[in-house]
Amino acid sequence: MNENALVDLQNAKIYQRDSLILSEVNITVNKGEFVFLIGRTGTGKSSLLKTLYGELPLKEGEGSVVGYDLKKMSWKTIPYLRRNLGVVFQDFQLLTDRNVQDNLIFTLRSTGWKDRALMEEKINDVLEKVGLKTKGFKMPYELSGGEQQRVDIARALLNSPKLILADEPTGNLDPETSDGIMQLLIQIGRDYNTSIIMATHDYLVLQKFPSRVLRTEHGKVIDNASVSFS
């Protein structure tokens, strides 16, 4: 296996329960790579991402993510896999009953952190990285959509992930805010040598920030897919 690969799927079949969604999936994503994942709704983008972070089991074929064998995943080992991943959602999924700092503390505690001083140091670090150093005391409803997405990215960075899986992170944002989020993700990839797989249906983003493209269609994943902007 390629030692540089953070994602390596060979002849994988992706299922939702008993339904085969994608077959003959062969993907390798190396350290520091930025990859777009595109495809019409219902063609398997989300199922593929869910397989990569252990929400859907890999039943057939071979697959490893950040060194973990997906075929050997169990409810005991999935948390260890996820500590090496950052997941960024379209709808932010912030806890609305607590401020930004407490949202991030909740995530750190749930992934095994205990030392309050170290937690606060890490939170200051990630908030500064996403440009929200002064917003830790704000409640989610006091933030704009772009700021909430930056909190979501900060949360994804807490455990210094090797790989970030971003599911439509610009889907609910206006073009200017979307550009800012894209620039932030690309900068994070460069600064930390973090790999990023980003599902999107926003072809403007693909046009402005060209990168390798995976496309789901007809039950397959096409690598280095061409994109028509007409």
Burial 114-143 (b: 16+ CB within 10 A, else e): eeeeebeebbeebbebbebeebbebebeeb
Containing structural domain, residue 67: 5-84+161-222
Q: Which residue has the higher pLDDT, 23 or 226?
A: 23
Q: How many domains does the chain have?
A: 1
Percent of the chain with pLDDT over 90: 81
Model confidence at 112, pLDDT cuts 50, 70, 90, reads confident
Question: What's the rounded mean pLDDT across residues 70-82?
Answer: 91
Q: What is the pLDDT of residue 196?
A: 97
pLDDT (0 to 100) of residue 47: 93
pLDDT for 79 equals: 86
Backbone region of residue 192 per phi and psi (left: phi > 0; alpha: psi in -120 to 50; beta: other values): alpha
Q: Is 136 part of any domain?
A: no
Q: Report if residue 56 sits inside a domain.
A: yes
Residue 229 is predicted with a pLDDT of: 55
Residue 194 lies in a domain: yes
Q: Is the residue at 121 inside a domain?
A: no
Confidence grade of residue 111 (pLDDT, cut at 50, 70, 90): confident
Closest by Cα among 72, 82, 50 to 216 = 50
Residue 116: inside a domain, yes or no? no
Tell me the mean pLDDT in the region 106-125: 93
Flag whether 36 is in a domain. yes
Q: Kindly report the CATH number assigned to the domain that includes residue 214.
A: 3.40.50.300
Provide the pLDDT confidence category of residue 4 given band limits of 50, 70 and 90.
confident
- Which pLDDT value is given to residue 226? 76
3-state secondary structure of 28: strand
Q: Sheet containing 68-69: which strands, arranged edge to edge?
A: 19-30, 5-16, 60-65, 68-69
Give residue 14's identity as a one-letter amino acid code.
I
Beta strand pairing call for 220-222 and 85-88: unpaired
Instruction: Kindly tell me if the per-residue pLDDT of 1 is higher than 80.
Output: no
The string of pLDDT tens digits covering residues 154-199 is 999 999 999 999 999 998 889 999 999 999 999 999 999 999 999 9
Asked if 43 contacts 216 with a C-beta cutoff of 8 angstroms, the reply is yes
In a domain, 131, yes or no: no
pLDDT confidence of residue 22: 96
Q: Considering the entire predicted model, what is its pTM?
A: 0.92
Answer yes or no: is 117 within a domain. Answer: no
